Structures are given as C-alpha cells and as structure tokens.
Structure 1
Amino acid sequence: MARLPGLAASLFLLFLTPAVAETLRLATFEVEMTRRGPGLLLRDISSGKDSQTEAVAEVIATVRPDVLLLTGFDYDLDLVALRSLRDRIAARGVDYPHLFALRPNSGWQTGLDLDGDGRIGGPGDARGWGRFAGAGGMAILSRHPIDHESVLDLSSLRWADLPGALIDEADLPREALGVLPVSSTGHWVVPVVLPSGTRLSLLAFRATPPVFDGPEDRNARRNRDEIALWRHLLEGRLSHRAPKPPLVILGNFNLDPVDGEGRRDALNALLSNPTLVDPAPVSTGAARAARMQGGANDLHHGNPALDTVDWPDDTGPGNLRVDYVLPSSDLTIRDAGVFWPDPEQPGHRAAQDASRHRLVWVDVDMP
C-alpha cells in the first residue's frame, strides 16, 4: 500500500502530459504509367533505363509520402509491376513495405457495344475506357500496414443504382444498365493502421475525363457521378456503412472547380462539405508555368498556383487543378503542396519527365 501514492502521482503526471500527434504525409500522384499492352510497364520499370519510370521513382523518393495513391498505373494480378516500382524507389532510400491494388474497371470488357462503333471488344466497350484489362488502374504504397480484410470496394456499384445518377438510358444499350458501374476505374475505402492503432480510411478513386465524347455528354455525366458517389457514401445514402473519421478522399478527380469542361456541382459540394477540409495546396512552378504559356491559361479564372496538371494550352484546356487530397475535418492540417518546382529548382526535370500531372501532398496531424 505504501507504493500507491507514487503510482497515483505517476498517473496524474500522465494525464497532464500532452498527447503526441502522429504527423502523416498523404499524397496522390497520377503517374500516367499505362502502356499499350499488358506486361509492357513491368518491362520498362525493371529495365532501370526508362526515363519516365525513373523520374516517377525520383519524385516519390523526393517528396517521401507516408501513404501514396498512384493513379494511371497498369494493374497485374500479382502486383509485379508495383513491386518493381517499389524497388526503384527503395534504391533511392525510401521503402514502402505495404502495397495494395485491386483489378480496375478500365479495360474490363462488358461484351456490349457501348461506344456505338458497331464492334465489340474495343477500349470504349469496357466498364471503363482501356486497351486491356487492368490498363490505367490504381495502387497504394504505404509505410504503414493496410487492413486488407476490411477494404470496401465500391467499384461494382451500378451507375443506374446511384442516387440521383445522371445516367441517360437512351444513350446506352438497354443491357448496359445492368452492368455498367459508376466507377470508370475504381472506388475503394482502404483502412491504414497507424502505429498508435488509429485507423485512417483512404477513399481512393480515379474519375473519367469529362470530355472525349459527343453531344450525349456521357463522360461529363459519369465524371460528375463518380465524384458524387463519395458524398452519397458519407451521408449514408448507399447500402454500405459510411466510414468513420479520420479519413481522406484522394485521387484524380479529372475536374477543375472553375476552369475547363465538366459538371462541377458534385465537386463543389465536396470542397465545401463541412466534414472535409480542402488544404488548397499550391506551387510556384504551376503559377509560373501558366504565366509563361499563355493560351488557354489566359482565359482561366481560377488561381493558377493550385494547378496540378500541365496540359497543352494551345490545343488543349491548359493547366488545371484535377488532383486532390481532402482530409476529414477532425485532422489538423500542418502543410500542403504540389510538387511542381520552378525550372531553377531541384526536381524540376524529374517532375516534367514523370507525368503531365504533379504529385499532390498534405501533412496532417493525427492525435
């Protein structure tokens, strides 16, 4: 009994000690690492001589995210290409022991003539546009364990079943209504287990571009609904249980909130959702590129420092903000940025060679 006062004092001091927060760097990167056929990406990565894949590894090793979503990355069943990329990053001193990927909808054939060209089996006849099954998929690299058993894959949710869907039944073969999902690539809820035991849910996706169609505007409508899916999930409108905070929505939304083409209501609803935070990451490189290039960029109304992709400004839409990391509002934002260095800064050439998109990162504190 004589030891109780000491024990009580220790407990008292424990409760007076401030909790130490875990700081995590969360990132998304549209790497455009898709090739014209299966196995070609693995060939390029494993050679160690492909300038694009080496630049991607260099960018990732420079920014050093704790958890990273890759979009536009060809999928293979055993994740061989992903492991090969992980090895190229590890050679630069950054290790990702935990990997995750699922088969994407891109290139997964429906057996229907969805694009109306009179043939079956083309890229436009798949669940999501793709030259082969697995083309342009998604993958996660993490320093922390992933709870594979608790992953929620919403990629098979039928477009026609989404609340308020903008699907046009007259635009598609009747049979398509029963098989065409909302997701052109995938929608995943992936729990990451942190050292404290806290679980962070990654709401990962890659939406179709809202262009490359005709007056039916199918791609713009689908892009809008791919983004809207997350709001429906968080607000309990789907049959699946909404993930609890802390969480983060991240990926290639393929839509700018101000400029370029597309239907913005679902995006702006997410950006203004009180349960989420938009850190609005910027870069000096993006602002400078927009000033130097002119063209379409001169017609834009949004802040060019927020841009995340360097698309042609003379024949295309110019630079836009299309890649996002949106943490839940219970997390403390410490810092955020887009890895788009100025020409005089280190990493400029690697960022250019890696992808037209730039890596977007956000630092959050998790108490």
Structure 2
Amino acid sequence: MNKPFAIALLGCAAALTAGCLRIVVHGDPTLAAERMPKTVVRAFKAAMPPVRIATYNVSLHGNAAGELVKRLEKDDLNARRIAAVIQNVRPDIVLLNEFDYDAEGRAADLFQRRYLEQPQLGEKAIHYPYRYLAAVNTGVASGFDLDRDGSIGKSGRAYGNDAWGFGLYPGQYGMLLLSRYPIDAARIRSFKHLKWSTMPDAKAPVIIATGQPWFATAAWQKMPVSSKSHWDVPVQTPQGEIHVLASHPTPPSFDGAENRNGLRNKAELDLWNAYLSAPDARWLCDDGGQCGGLKPQESFVILGDLNADPQDGDGEHAGIANLIAHPRVAKYAAPESDGGANTALKYARTRAGNVRTHTADFGPTVGTLRVDYVLPSADFDVLRSGVFWPVAPNPKSQWVGASDHHMVWLDIRTPLPK
C-alpha cells in the first residue's frame, strides 16, 4: 500500500467514523493503514473512485509559431470537436500530443477556458485545475545537416528535417498534460536533453552503401534520444500516486534505407523500457541531473502516441512489443472500437494485428494502425477501456475527423483485498 493512498484511506476512515470512534495515528500512516482489518480496507478502497486516464493526439498545431493561438482565439471547429471528445469521455488525466507549445501557455489557456470549460456540441464542460507543459525538441535547430541533403535547412521542411525533432518552428507538435488531480511539480523529471549515444547498445544509423555513420560525429554526440521529450509527472490520485510517463516518439518513416527515424523511434521506446528496468542506471540522467530509473515500488502509466504498431506498418516492432510485454506493465486486452474495424475494412489492407485495436487512420496508402497507448503498471486492475472512434449513423462520428488519431482511455484501480 503506497503512502498517499494510506493517508487518503485514514482520512476517509476518520471522516466516516467521526462521532463514533476516535482514530489516533502515530508514525507512518502506511503502517497504520496496514493494521486496519482487511474488510475495512476493502470497503474504503471500493469507495475510492477509479482513475480514468487517456491519451489523445489532437493535431492542434499550426504552420508557423503562434498560429494555434490565433486559431483558438476564433471559433475553431476542430478544437471544438477535440474538446467535445474529451468532454464525452471525461478522463481524469489526459495527455494531448501534437498540441503546440508556447512558453506563456497561451494556447493551453485558450483551449481550457474557451473550449473545455464551455459546453461543446451537446457535451458538458469539464475543468482541469492542474496541468503540465514544457519545451520540446521539435523545431529546435540542430546546426547540422541531419538529413544529409548537402545543406543545413533554413526554412520549411528543409529546416524541419535538420531540427533535433522534425518541426517547422520550436514547439510545434508539443505535449500538454491535463489533470483533475494534483501534480507534484517539484518531482517532475524530463529527459529532453538525454543523448541517444549514451544509451547502452545505442544503434546509430549508417549509410547503407558504405557502412559509414549517417550522422557526423559531432551531431551524433549531441543528438537527443527524444524527438519531443520524455516526462515523468507524479500525480496524486484517489488510487495513490501515479507516475505519468508521457512521450511522443518520432514516426518510423520519412527516411531512407538508413532507417534513422525507425531506429530513433525504437530508441525512444527503449528509454521507457530502461526507465522501468534500471532504477540505478548511471547513464539515465534527467535534465536536472538526477540519474536512475523509476523505483520498483512506484506505480505508473505510460501514455502517448508512440508511433509504433507491434505487428504492422513501418518501424522496429520490437520496441513497442518489448514495452507492452515488460514485466512491470499490466497485461490486459487492448482497447477496441468499431471505427478501427470499419475503417480498416474500407482500406482492405492485410494486417497481422487485430484491427479493432487500431487507434489511427493514415489514409489508404498506409491504412490504420495501433500507435496510441495507455499502459498501466501491473499493480493496477483495468476495469474498462476504449478507443473513441464511433461510426455512422452515430452523430459523434463527425467529430473524429479533427485528428487522424483517436482517444484511447482506461479506468484503473488498485486491486481490492481478498
């Protein structure tokens, strides 16, 4: 039993027994809670609400810095549709991928105040008092010719191809975490600057014709593993503290035979594998200088558009497959939707995986894939799950065109005592 849950449990016990029984706690509340009869603990734990956690690539980005703010200042239909999905599913914690970052948080303010906190398309408003956003590597100039086209790009896609993470400007395709429950801001860890080359067994891309390194030595030594960032955000919930492990790895495509994006995507997923497996790793250092992974007793949920399907599409499938199979990750049936199945049927592409679990629609050339994930730690029970991808004649099916991805959500709780 973790300490935040034990404190909450004792608080509930004190409230419910006021006037009947005096409860005095000395010392560690975890030990005090553990001394309570199992029937009492079970009753209180059953009364605690489960936590609904979601990830959603919302495609709220512009073609230039500040464009999203201008869109949100107007009545943006796609933003309204995205907000309606969130209001319909009502997650307690939600990670929004591809939400442009600005240092003042103006886009986040506008989206929360004018869209989420106002009824949209027949749905009820929703309020998130806590949030986290931070700078990302997308659109940050590297100063190197990363795509080896003979020059360092100055504008447009040429600039984006030579940025530390593809983006036309700093902050494009950023991340925004919203929460109904308190975030422990002092203990947030980010891995925006962790170098790819420091990872054990880091596999650098090579020029196929010569076997020489794709990246210049100086570029490889400075290359961050994360194309956006990797965050560990502790959130205090009714089910105890949950470390939200948020990221958005690069797509394993838009490259050549050297497979530089495919290898980087796998490295970004391997970072989470290492974070769960190596609590004392000296190479695994965050942006504040703290080294080591997540402690074995800590609860977590991995969230994000991970841009990797375990069986289909481009990429190194082992990266996501290993993460799903990690001993610390809960084993549960993947969330499903009718929309994934219907869209996959329309494209008629051969798939090894279950198309009902697919979360994104990349059009007839690529098809549908499972790339968005909510992966809780094994100390949680998964009560319910889903992918928000309704089909006609459901009128809500009109909302899903706002993004090529669809919200994935889970309800989780700690197991009840036997």
TM-score by length of 1: 0.92
Q: In the alignment, which of 154, 162, 166 is matched to residue 191 of structure 2? A: 154
Deviation of residue 366 (structure 1)? Answer: 3.7
Match of 1:26 in 2: 53
Q: Is 9-18 or 65-74 further displaced after alignment?
A: 9-18
**Given the alignment of the two structures, is residue 124 of structure 1 paired with residue 155 of structure 2, yes or no?**
no
Match of 1:173 in 2: 216
Evaluate the alpha carbon distance shift between residue 162 and residue 345 of structure 1 in structure 2; reply closer, same or farther with a 3 A threshold: same
Q: In the alignment, which of 82, 89, 102 is matched to residue 76 of structure 1? A: 102
Q: Take 2:388 and 2:251, find their aligned partners in 1: how far apart are those partners?
A: 22
Q: Take 1:247 and 1:13, find their aligned partners in 2: how far apart are those partners?
A: 26
Instruction: For 1:93-108, list aligned pairs within 5 A.
Output: 93-108=125-140
Q: Deviations over 1:318-353 (max 9, x none)?
A: 00000000000101110000000011224110122x
Alpha-carbon contact 2:274-2:293 (below 8 Å) kept: no
Alpha-carbon contact 1:191-1:202 (below 8 Å) kept: yes
**Given the alignment of the two structures, is residue 42 of structure 1 paired with residue 69 of structure 2, yes or no?**
yes
Alpha-carbon contact 2:131-2:176 (below 8 Å) kept: yes
Alpha-carbon contact 1:224-1:263 (below 8 Å) kept: yes
Q: Deviations over 1:248-307 (max 9, x none)?
A: 01101101111111111121111111210254000012112212332xx2x112111000
Match of 1:281 in 2: 335
Match of 2:383 in 1: 334
SS of 1:192's equivalent in the other structure is strand
SS of 1:232's equivalent in the other structure is helix
**Given the alignment of the two structures, is residue 16 of structure 1 paired with residue 39 of structure 2, yes or no?**
yes
Match of 2:243 in 1: 201
Alpha-carbon contact 2:277-2:293 (below 8 Å) kept: no
Deviation of residue 166 (structure 1)? Answer: 1.5
SS of 2:59's equivalent in the other structure is strand
Instruction: For 1:1-367, list aligned pairs within 5 A.
Output: 16-17=39-40, 18=42, 19-20=44-45, 21-48=48-75, 50-87=76-113, 88-92=115-119, 93-117=125-149, 118-121=151-154, 122-168=159-205, 170-195=213-238, 198-236=240-278, 237=281, 238=284, 239-243=291-295, 244-279=297-332, 280-294=334-348, 297=349, 299-313=350-364, 316-352=365-401, 354-366=402-414
Q: Take 1:278 and 1:70, find their aligned partners in 2: how far apart are those partners?
A: 24
Alpha-carbon contact 2:98-2:173 (below 8 Å) kept: yes
Evaluate the alpha carbon distance shift between residue 287 and residue 278 of structure 1 in structure 2; reply closer, same or farther with a 3 A threshold: farther
SS of 1:357's equivalent in the other structure is coil
Aligned partner letter, 1:245: E
The sequence identity of aligned pairs, in percent, is 35
SS of 2:245's equivalent in the other structure is strand
Evaluate the alpha carbon distance shift between residue 15 and residue 273 of structure 1 in structure 2; reply closer, same or farther with a 3 A threshold: closer
Deviation of residue 241 (structure 1)? Answer: 3.6
SS of 1:285's equivalent in the other structure is helix
Aligned partner letter, 2:357: L
Q: Take 2:36 and 2:224, find their aligned partners in 1: how far apart are those partners?
A: 55
Q: Is 8-17 or 140-149 further displaced after alignment?
A: 8-17
Alpha-carbon contact 1:281-1:360 (below 8 Å) kept: yes
Q: Take 1:308 and 1:98, find their aligned partners in 2: how far apart are those partners?
A: 26
Alpha-carbon contact 1:185-1:205 (below 8 Å) kept: yes
Alpha-carbon contact 2:311-2:352 (below 8 Å) kept: yes
Q: Take 2:217 and 2:198, find their aligned partners in 1: how far apart are those partners?
A: 14
Evaluate the alpha carbon distance shift between residue 241 and residue 273 of structure 1 in structure 2; reply closer, same or farther with a 3 A threshold: closer
Alpha-carbon contact 2:51-2:238 (below 8 Å) kept: no
Q: Which runs of 5+ in 2 are unaligned?
A: 1-19, 25-32, 120-124, 207-212, 285-290
Alpha-carbon contact 2:306-2:372 (below 8 Å) kept: yes
Alpha-carbon contact 1:245-1:330 (below 8 Å) kept: no
Aligned partner letter, 1:143: R
Alpha-carbon contact 1:99-1:141 (below 8 Å) kept: yes
Q: Which runs of 5+ in 1 are unaligned?
A: 1-5
- Taking only aligned residues, the RMSD between alpha carbons, in angstroms, comes to 2.1
SS of 2:321's equivalent in the other structure is helix
Q: Take 2:317 and 2:233, find their aligned partners in 1: how far apart are those partners?
A: 26
Q: Take 1:187 and 1:278, find their aligned partners in 2: how far apart are those partners?
A: 23
Q: Take 1:13 and 1:256, find their aligned partners in 2: how far apart are those partners?
A: 45
Aligned partner letter, 1:285: G
Evaluate the alpha carbon distance shift between residue 13 and residue 116 of structure 1 in structure 2; reply closer, same or farther with a 3 A threshold: closer
TM-score by length of 2: 0.81
Deviation of residue 13 (structure 1)? Answer: 8.5
Aligned partner letter, 1:210: P
Q: Take 1:181 and 1:8, find their aligned partners in 2: how far apart are those partners?
A: 55
- How many residue pairs match? The answer is 354
Q: Take 1:344 and 1:140, find their aligned partners in 2: how far apart are those partners?
A: 32
